[in-house]
Chain A
């Protein structure tokens, strides 16, 4: 079952514009991770934000986390055609055995046009 839901499902923008993707989840988390995937194969880790953090930056990426609203956002600034990919959020939740379980949403497909 999916824990996170990304919004929008698809996003189309021009190069140079900013892209914002949102993720909502249902249960308490230990951390939330954003991933990128090109052509349906391996996922590339982008950023991990812990439940006690509110914002993190990495290059052109900015992630926010609002645990009261159970939501996160990923902002890509000054987008490039090479940013075209699917982006997924994944939440690390405590499973019944007391261990973290990493659950993915359905993703946002981002298309950046030159």
Chain B
């Protein structure tokens, strides 16, 4: 596609439920990032993929969060047992290589009620 695509754009879920957020990066981009952004703050790094492997997952807040990128393209961020504090906009970005511009999707706004 022309840009980074994230689905769904909005997700409302009940506390305790499991959610999956999807990111389709720009075709051919090897690097993929996930961020979380709360209102009035900058994007907070969660995880970075180079190809299929998670090169750096140091930003994942706890073991309820997990992300995969099995074929080196589409990535899924998975959140188990959601909590109200998980409510935020989840942003995905991709870049051609790790030292080039990163392009962002429009994000998924997750609301846990």
By a beta-carbon cutoff of 8 Å, the part of chain A in contact with chain B is: 2, 30-31, 33, 35, 40-45, 48, 50, 88, 90, 92, 95-97, 99-107
Contact = CB atoms under 8 A, between A and B. Distances in A.
Contact of B43 (A88, A99, A100, A101): A88
B106 A41 contact: yes
B14 interface: no
Contact of A104 (B45, B89, B106): B45
Interface residues of B, number: 28
B64 to A, nearest CB: 20
A40 B37 contact: yes
B98 interface: yes
Contacts of A99: 48, 50, 55-56, 98
Q: Chain A at the B interface: mostly helix, strand, loop or mixed?
A: strand
Contacts of B55: 95, 97, 99
Q: Chain B at the A interface: mostly helix, strand, loop or mixed?
A: strand
Nearest to B45: A103
Contact of A2 (B42, B48, B98, B101): B42
Interface of B: 31, 33, 35, 37, 39, 41-45, 48, 50, 55-56, 58, 89, 91, 93, 98-107
B102 A41 contact: no
Contact of B45 (A30, A88, A102): A102
A31 B107 contact: no
Given A41-B106, A102-B45, 16 more contacts: A33-B102, A42-B104, A45-B103, A48-B100, A50-B99, A88-B43, A90-B102, A95-B55, A95-B56, A95-B58, A97-B55, A99-B50, A99-B56, A102-B33, A102-B93, A104-B44
Contacts of B56: 95-97, 99, 101
